Structure 1
């Protein structure tokens, strides 16, 4: 397989290009090929214990976007103008537990590990979840852990978009209970097996950002322990 080596400056240029765009040009649409690459970046993202506790809803229906707009204050400029709008979902603890059918299926059928070592892998996951992280102390702790996993593909999608010259904006400004109620009414949460984690909009900026990018200096955020 031939791979093109991305130059360091290309990577930095993409990160400098990426801004939290509030309004997109509604006349410009992302090609199917480019958006599939963004989705593939999400699909190939890493997850703790390899269980991929996520699902991505690509919301293109304008009527549904209008319903979301009523309960998503942070997406007022995005929902009417974004080329593509994604709701990122995380899995409930009944799926992410080491002894769940979901986890067993993930390792046996998705990952394709041999039966003879599957018990050893599941025991390793149990030790991590129960003894190291104490994830099932309560439902919220387990859900928070799953939601943290979704931020890995979340970030990768935006980074790959930037490498392709596509703008994006991460969104957490929504009434989570109302959004989950709407999705449940549309049978999109698999009977409570899924919960809303975040949203992200993609498109092409209508205008350049009004303010320059501001970031802390490297010395203020990195400490080396030699």
Structure 2
């Protein structure tokens, strides 16, 4: 089977998995999941009981959820490209450490801000959530900037899945304006470099439903129903 990534819009963290699949260069398809309507529906919960994106239907037909698990799955297929590393090696441990930080601290810093935005918080509740979120986002950026230092990529001289995941979350600051990223020049440098990457441009175009040019193995989008078939047909 051709792997299919069920990606969430608007602005799902699945963005990073799209970038990673483009970098991998192997055949894959995409299935668009509107949030919150489709992602919370019974049909989607049959493949992901948590009702969140992303979900990956693997080449063997299994359904895999959670960004960190999906990225590690992609990484295992991309060892030759340096996207991932063999388990038990120092580089594998370093990649997992970076992904864990991004998946918990960096992602989690934005949770109060998303809650305030999506649940219509007003008055004191909104003020508390926003102030708390901004303080967490600032600390997460400071910590990540220290981890990055003056290296070109999060793990060093070569881009990895950590950089793909980073850009999918870092763009959330454009919504919330929690910090001025220019206060963290190392992160701004990495952000700008990734935004200029063809795979990132492709992922933005896919989300926005604009013409998208793949430099990877993208074979087209499929409907949700077709994605559950063994031999899906492009929508």
TM-score using structure 2 length? 0.27
Q: Which has the larger radius of gyration?
A: 1
